């Protein structure tokens, strides 16, 4: 099973790499620059001047909707994040999929938002899972001052995720569920229990499930400080990127709980004053009270999941629950609804539990599973 995290956002520096034969002439370089300029994606047609920048979308209504989000979120990002300062020439483009260049293969697979610092431009997918939260994430990238650039590896993505969580509470549970699950998967998997009890005779069933993701090596908790998964030029699979995003979110959210965003910013200022290019990983681990071991990070991610996050996880990936229910309830009719007296929980062993009894969505998916099984083979 792949990581559960629903979306990817990131930074895009407009980086396009060409293999150019060394030459004393500047003509080839000028030709490449001209080519890239000519191949820029054309701006969306409808332009709206918002208080915080320019918004471009396919029509005036779309641009107006996003301009309202921009004007609401931008001041809050700058008030929340120490040292934040948005560019004066900021633009937000709403596209089918975020891309700077029209050249084939220049898009970023699965990205719902990108920020190009070179162009002071945020690129949003209009089909984003949560457009407001995606915009908040990209605004955080756009607003980060020079000191924040000393965050190593993928850690900046965790910071921007946390900002979007704090500013967009309606989508916070889904974000936390996805990122924390991805962090656990990157470090070996997430162990869950499904518990079913029959009201008639008190029988109980327990299924122990381990959700597994892509193998990210022996020390993903170290790689997150080295790999810049948020850059469009970093070649990683979607699952691996999501694993790094999850680890970065886990680190930053724990650190912010303990030292605040001000404390994280102070670590960046200390690194700058010491002439360091990046904040040492040891300082960030200390701020987050995390040990440098894969198991410590996996345990921390699992322990951060509460009942609400477990429910959100089931909504995002219901199949492992439906599979178990299909086996457990194979001899019971579902025509009248959820079987009377039957209770269902999803839980972390020794941790949080969420009651799923009577869940309408699971019931409908179980009914669909049975109807599909009864269809004659073609």
User: For residue 198, what is the DSSP state?
Assistant: -
What pLDDT, on a 0 to 100 scale, did the predictor assign at position 104?
Answer: 67
Domain boundaries, the chain: 191-212+306-374
pLDDT per residue rounded down to tens, the chain (378 residues): 433 433 455 554 443 222 223 334 444 444 444 445 558 899 999 999 999 999 999 999 999 999 999 999 999 999 999 999 999 999 999 999 999 888 766 566 678 999 999 999 999 999 999 999 999 999 999 999 999 999 999 999 999 999 999 999 999 999 999 999 999 999 999 999 999 998 777 789 999 999 998 888 899 999 999 999 988 778 888 899 999 999 999 999 999 999 999 999 999 999 999 999 999 999 999 999 999 999 999 999 999 999 999 999 999 999 999 999 998 888 888 888 988 889 999 999 999 999 999 999 999 999 999 888 887 755
CB 342 within 8 A of CB 199: yes
Q: Who's near 333: CB < 8 A, 6+ residues apart?
A: 339
Q: Provide the token pair at 265.
A: 């910013």
What pLDDT, on a 0 to 100 scale, did the predictor assign at position 39?
Answer: 82
Q: Whole-model pTM? A: 0.88
Angle between helices 238-273 and 172-186 (to 10 degrees): 100
Residue 310, classed as helix, strand or coil, is helix
């Amino acid at each position: 099973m792949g990581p559960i995290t629903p979306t990817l956002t990131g930074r895009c520096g407009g980086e396009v790499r060409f293999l150019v034969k060394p030459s004393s002439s500047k003509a080839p370089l000028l030709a490449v620059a001209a080519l890239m300029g000519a191949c820029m994606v054309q701006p969306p047609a409808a332009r709206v001047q918002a208080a915080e920048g320019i918004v471009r979308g396919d029509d005036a209504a779309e641009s107006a909707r996003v301009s309202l989000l921009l004007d609401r979120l931008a001041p809050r990002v700058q008030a929340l994040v120490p040292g934040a300062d948005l560019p004066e020439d900021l633009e937000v483009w709403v596209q089918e999929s975020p891309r700077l260049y029209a050249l084939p293969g220049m898009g970023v697979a699965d990205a719902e938002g990108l920020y190009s610092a070179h162009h002071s431009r945020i690129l949003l997918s209009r089909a984003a899972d949560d457009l407001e939260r995606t915009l908040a994430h990209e605004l955080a990238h756009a607003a980060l001052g020079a000191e924040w650039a000393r965050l190593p590896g993928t850690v900046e993505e965790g910071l921007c995720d946390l900002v979007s969580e704090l500013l967009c509470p309606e989508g916070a549970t889904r974000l936390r569920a996805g990122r924390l699950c991805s962090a656990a998967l990157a470090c070996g998997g997430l162990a869950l229990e499904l518990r079913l009890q029959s009201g008639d005779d008190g029988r109980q069933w327990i299924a122990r499930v381990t959700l597994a993701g892509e193998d990210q090596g022996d020390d993903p908790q170290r790689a997150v400080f080295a790999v810049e998964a948020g850059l469009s030029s970093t070649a990683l699979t979607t699952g691996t990127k999501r694993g790094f995003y999850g680890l970065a979110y886990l680190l930053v959210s724990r650190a912010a709980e303990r030292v605040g965003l001000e404390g994280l910013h102070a670590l960046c200022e200390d690194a700058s004053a010491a002439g360091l290019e990046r904040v040492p990983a040891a300082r960030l681990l200390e701020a987050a009270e995390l040990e440098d071991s894969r198991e410590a990070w996996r345990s921390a991610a699992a322990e951060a999941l509460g009942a609400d996050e477990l429910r959100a996880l089931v909504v995002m990936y219901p199949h492992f629950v439906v599979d178990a229910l299909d086996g457990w309830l194979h001899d019971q009719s579902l025509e009248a609804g959820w079987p009377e007296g039957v209770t269902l929980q999803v839980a972390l062993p020794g941790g949080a539990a969420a009651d799923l009894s009577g869940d309408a969505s699971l019931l409908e998916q179980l009914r669909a599973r049975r109807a599909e099984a009864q269809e004659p083979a073609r």
